[in-house]
Amino acid sequence: MAMARRSASRLLSSFRPFSLLLQPLNDAPSLAAAAAAASARRGMSSASALRARDEKEVARWRESMDRMRNIGISAHIDSGKTTLTERVLYYTGRIHEIHEVRGRDGVGAKMDSMDLEREKGITIQSAATYCTWNGYQVNIIDTPGHVDFTIEVERALRVLDGAILVLCSVGGVQSQSITVDRQMRRYEIPRVAFINKLDRMGADPWKVLNQARSKLRHHNAAVQVPIGLEEEFEGLVDLVELKAYKFEGGSGQNVVASDVPSNMQDLVMEKRRELIEVVSEVDDQLAEAFLHDEPIQANQLKAAIRRATVARKFIPVYMGSAFKNKGVQPLLDGVLDYLPCPMEVENYALDQKKSEEKVLLAGTTAEPLVALAFKLEEGRFGQLTYLRIYDGVIRKGDFIYNVNTGKKIKVPRLVRMHSNEMEDIQEAHAGQIVAVFGVDCASGDTFTDGSVKYTMTSMNVPEPVMSLAVSPISKDSGGQFSKALNRFQKEDPTFRVGLDPESGETIISGMGELHLDIYVERIRREYKVDAKVGKPRVNFRETITQRAEFDYLHKKQSGGQGQYGRVCGYIEPLPSGFDGKFEFDNMIIGQVIPSNFIPAIEKGFKEACNSGSLIGHPVENIRIVLTDGASHAVDSSELAFKLASIYAFRQCYAAARPVILEPVMMVELKVPTEFQGTVTGDMNKRKGIIVGNDQEGDDTVVVCHVPLNNMFGYSTALRSMTQGKGEFSMEYLEHNTVSQDVQMQLVNTYKASKGTD
């Protein structure tokens, strides 16, 4: 009997992972022992009793996974993401008071925990939280809307199972809405849409729904119809359940259900039929019932919408006004009803032991640990690393392995995040988003328990487009200044730090003016270092337009061992659409150059490409082919061949007709129609190419492609041209060739600065 009790206790200890979401089974060992003893008395083996117990535990664990959602809230700037998250936290009981994004009470929204975010009324860093709604656990990441902080959206979507795309009922589908939707497609995220701000003047949800179909290619339909619009917006009619909802109480916390208003019956039935038709196009079960003209029950329609949404074939559209506390609770119900639980999403890892073979992760606690570090933050207690757990269990005090660096690390502290607050936990399992302290790693590293060598696929990191020269005003604060730059570079993959070889200045690069301004301000506030900032500089690139041959002999004799290396071949532009910016091909037949020197030759060419001779910027889209060469038995070395490569590149670069590439931005302008002529005239002066022109009420929306170099100080110019009524958003599009006159001007400026140096 004692043996049975001990074996039961040992076996049950392996089920500790279930304790996090399920109620802790404090008396589990004694219960298991009692169950085993009773089984033995009935002539049933304790092993089979324990097997039954195992199955029961697995079933309970599966149920807990079904009751979990990992979602992100993303949208264009100022569409109401943070306001929506604030209401979600209030209705789920996570916070007990609502504060506004630009709150006069000096508190600000819960998810905007940085002082800078509260001052500017924008989200700068994505923030994680969790809440409970109708017995489901919902992990939420609120992301920034400004294009300069696009990496925050990118890495949040990389680890989430579903998302809410927020659209403004007045602004409609804007430039950043398109970018965010593209990111969701990249990571294959099922989503629901929420048309916000129905209380505003000019609100038109049906226009926005059609824009989502035409601009975002969404296969969507409304699952709600608003009762009134603008000041008369009172509530919503649910097209699935055919119920009307109004939101009463001081903060809209009381949801009152009633029958559909009689004056809306025709509209509601028309929109419900449209919903059924659209879902039938992508769901066979519903299509069969629809074609046979059978009455469609609410549970039938709900199941069909869930199947189509999880399969990413359909996007249900919700409506409301987060600011006026209307429509948030039904949206939360929609997240539970239609977005997938962690087990319904396929996640793949790359097995490093089998030359990066793709492995489908089971997403269970029985598998070895696989977790991805997707975001880093410098907290009060050291580095805070956000982890998404894909497989297995992580416990406080466990040893985990960083697959990317090979280091073994102990988990000193495990927490769940609620914006900038944290709750200590003992363990977490597959499907959860948690954070660990004191773990040194980089964004994108994968952690395992050491039994497998899996890495998760990396996230897409855009290239920086703008640079600033920065230096501390006081020489004594150099240490703090370096510490700040190192930390920011580790936290944000789009923030780069370099040194200008000519001037010796520290150069910071990022996604735009606001991005870099925020970091300069954070250096001042968080590290008490006043920094001197140079004029913003554009990240130009150089490339070649035709093939050019090289044949260079590097020969040096200065007593003792000399240097000897000869390289022959050609450089040529990479074909358009090629995935990569530099390619090196060794086409030498035989051993005229020993194979151990080839990596040094490639390294030399790569180094030479870091600085082109036109304006000293990196050279891209180039293919270097090595066809011949010569070596010396004594004098050849890696250094000799590396130097030969650098000089060979410089020798033939001018013959390849190099050109300068500049970053071109996609700019979306929204201005009152009366100022359209002035604004478009100014855009033409800035060498902008207008690619789109739409009318939205009294406003004109102009989309154009403009060189970044011509966009400095544009916000001030636009304000003065439109009496402060115009607005614009800008995001990186591509690097494109500059005109001949601009190239001459840039080259002359570069030569003049070299001359003065």
- In terms of domains, do 368 and 400 share one? yes
Say yes or no: 443 and 587 in one domain. Answer: no
* Final residue in a domain of this structure, among 656, 691, 711: 656
Between helix 28-41 and helix 46-66 the angle, nearest 10°, is 140
Angle at 85 between CA 246 and CA 387, to 5 degrees: 145
Residues whose CB is less than 8 angstroms from the CB of residue 280 and which lie 6 or more positions away in sequence, other chains included: 286, 287, 290, 291, 304
438 by DSSP, 3-state: which?
coil
> Which two three-digit tokens encode residue 669?
């302008």
Start-to-end C-alpha separation, the chain: 89
CATH number at residue 143: 3.40.50.300
Query: pLDDT tens digits, residue range 226-275?
Result: 998 888 999 999 999 999 999 988 888 889 999 999 899 999 999 999 99
**How far apart are the C-alpha atoms of 284 and 298, rounded to whole Å?**
17
| Count of structural domains, the chain | 5
Q: Using CA atoms, how far apart are residues 554 and 646, in angstroms rounded to an integer?
A: 10
Share of the chain above pLDDT 70, in %: 87
One domain for residues 486 and 568: no
Tell me the pLDDT tens digit for each residue of 616-661.
888 999 999 999 998 888 888 888 999 999 999 999 998 999 999 9
Supply the DSSP symbol for 442: -
- 447: closest CA among 384, 377, 392? 392
Q: Is 521 in the same domain as 615?
A: no
Strands 506-510 and 466-472: antiparallel
- What is the Cα Rg of the chain in Å? 30
Domain endpoint, select from 629, 656, 683: 656
Q: Is residue 197 part of a domain?
A: yes
Instruction: Give residue-wise pLDDT tens across range 535-546.
Output: 777 888 999 999
User: Residue 38 domain-assigned?
Assistant: no
Same domain, residue pair 368 and 504: no
| Domain of residue 374, CATH code | 2.40.30.10
Q: Are 267 and 225 in contact (CB under 8 A)?
A: yes
* Residue 589 DSSP SS3: coil
CA-nearest of 449, 459, 460, 457 to 356 is 457
User: Tell me, what's the pLDDT at 52?
Assistant: 60
Same domain, 126 and 247: yes
Tokens of 632: 């010396």
CA-closest candidate to residue 563, choices 554, 553, 574 = 554
Residue 80 exposed, middle or buried by CB count within 10 Å (0-12, 13-18, 19+): buried
583 lies in some domain: yes
**DSSP-derived pairing of the beta strands 127-133 and 68-75:** unpaired
Distance between CA atoms of 418 and 396, rounded to whole angstroms?
19
Helix (H) / strand (E) element for 705: namely strand 699-707
Q: Is residue 748 part of a domain?
A: no
Kind of pairing between the strands at 622-630 and 699-707: unpaired
Contact yes or no for 136/144 (Cβ under 8 A): no
- Give the 3-state DSSP-derived string for 329-344, with helices as H, strands as E and coil as C: HHHHHHHHHHCCCHHH
Residues 6+ apart with CB under 8 A from 545: 573, 656, 657, 658, 659
Does residue 304 have a pLDDT over 90? yes
The three-state secondary structure class of 318 is: strand
Question: Rounded to an integer, what distance in angstroms lies between the CA atom of residue 681 and that of residue 669?
Answer: 13
Q: Report if residue 247 sits inside a domain.
A: yes
Tens digit of each residue's pLDDT (9 = 90 or more) over 391-424: 888 988 889 998 888 888 888 888 887 766 778 8
Whether residue 318 has pLDDT greater than 60: yes
Ranking 181-185, 316-320, 438-442, 745-749 by mean pLDDT, the lowest is: 438-442
Tokens representing 288 are 């069969």
φ, ψ for residue 531, nearest 5 deg: -110, 145
Q: Per DSSP, what are the bridge partners of residue 502?
A: none
Range of the domain at 485: 466-539
Annotated binding-site members: 75-82, 142-146, 196-199
How far is Cα 415 from Cα 635, in angstroms, rounded to an integer? 60
Nearest to 225 by CA among 212, 216, 234: 234
The average pLDDT across 72-80 equals 82
CATH code at position 525: 3.30.70.870
Query: 3-class SS at 207?
Result: helix
| Per-residue b or e along 559-583, where b marks 16 or more CB atoms closer than 10 Å to that residue's CB | eeeebbbbbbbbbbbbeeeeeeebe
Q: Quick one: DSSP state of residue 80?
A: S
The share of the chain scoring above pLDDT 90, in percent, equals: 24
Query: Within this chain, do residues 374 and 424 fall inside the same structural domain, yes or no?
Result: yes
What letter does residue 718 receive in the DSSP assignment?
A: H
DSSP 18: G
Mean pLDDT is highest, among 180-189, 207-216, 285-294, for 207-216
Tracing tokens 């060419």 back to the chain, one arrives at 605
Inter-residue contact 656 to 571 (CB < 8 Å): yes
Give residue-wise pLDDT tens across range 362-380.
Answer: 887 788 899 988 888 776 6
Residues 299 and 427 both lie in one domain? no
pLDDT at 43 (0 to 100): 44
Q: What's the CA dihedral at 332, 336, 341, 346 to 10 degrees?
A: -80
Residue 15 located in a structural domain: no
Which residue did the predictor score with more confidence, 164 or 725?
164
Are 299 and 351 part of one and the same domain?
no
What b-and-e string marks burial along 95-119, b requiring 16 or more CB atoms within 10 Å of the CB? beebbebeeeeeebbbbbebebbbe
Backbone angles phi, psi at 164, to 5 degrees: -110, 120
The span from the CA of 480 to the CA of 523, in Å, is 9
Binding-site positions for GTP read 75-82, 142-146, 196-199
Same domain, 497 and 436: no
Bridge partners (DSSP) listed for residue 507: 469, 498
Please identify, among 539, 563, 582, the residue that sits at the C-terminal boundary of a domain: 539
Distance from C-alpha of 372 to C-alpha of 184, rounded to nearest angstrom: 18
Same domain, residue pair 508 and 559: no
Would 434 be classed as within a structural domain? yes
Q: Residue 596 maps to which CATH number?
A: 3.30.230.10
Average pLDDT over residues 509-527: 85
Tell the residue number behind the tokens 């306001």, with chain if given: 83
Q: What's the rounded mean pLDDT across residues 105-120?
A: 58
pTM: 0.72
Is 616 found in the same domain as 534? no
- Tens of pLDDT, residue by residue over 321-361, are 988 999 999 999 999 999 998 888 888 888 888 878 888 88
The CATH number covering residue 698 comes to 3.30.70.240
In a domain, 374, yes or no: yes
